[in-house]
Copies of this chain bind each other. A is one copy, B any other.
Amino acid sequence: MNEQLKAILEVLIFISQEPLTLEKIKEVLGEVPDEELKAALQALQEDYASDSRGIQVIQTAGGYLFTTKPEHDQWVRRLLQIEKKTKLSSAALETLSIIAYHQPITQAEISAIRGVDSTYSLKTLLQKKLIKIVGRKKAPGNPLVYRTTERFLQYFGLNSLDDLPKEEEIAKILEEEKQSIS
């Protein structure tokens, strides 16, 4: 067995987003005898077939692909759920930044700025206790009004809302690039 070849195949399959086809492999590696290639691929698959491995190399849609083994599905699900909980989506971040700079603000105002409905983001942020409802606006429909929380300040290491980076400061950082290029 060509161990070196097997290692390279492992790398290629690992890094490839689609099932890695034989043609693609040959395109990358150049001249490799077919038999040697197939032997190495088979050896690689066998390496991962053992029960002590949690992942496997499968052949699908005309190519090779790493996937997790079905018996570990519950752990995968649990991890993904936890990840989902801890991550702030870009939509949520957008919403949070708008609230931070425009508070107090209503959902309609946030949605108007973002150009998309923000109900779900608001829910997420409320759950994470980064924002809170502080009352209702005296306006038609009496919409709820949102503000950032203490926890928001803590999370971003701010003493008060006055500490939020000002527009000029950010602009200055961003401007510098133009000057140094020109």
Contact = CB atoms under 8 A, between A and B. Distances in A.
A10 B69 CA distance: 10
Taking the full assembly, how many copies of this chain does it contain?
A: 2
A72 B8 contact: yes
A50 B123 CA distance: 48
A165 B28 CA distance: 37
Contacts of A126: 173
A14 B54 contact: yes
A144 B79 CA distance: 36
Contacts of A55: 10-11, 14
Contacts of A72: 7-8, 11
Given A3-B51, A53-B7, A163-B142, A176 B123 contact: yes
Interface of A: 3-4, 6-12, 14-16, 20, 24, 27-29, 51-55, 66, 68-69, 72, 75-76, 78-80, 82-83, 119-120, 122-123, 126, 133-136, 138, 142, 144-145, 156-159, 163, 165, 169, 172-174, 176-177, 180
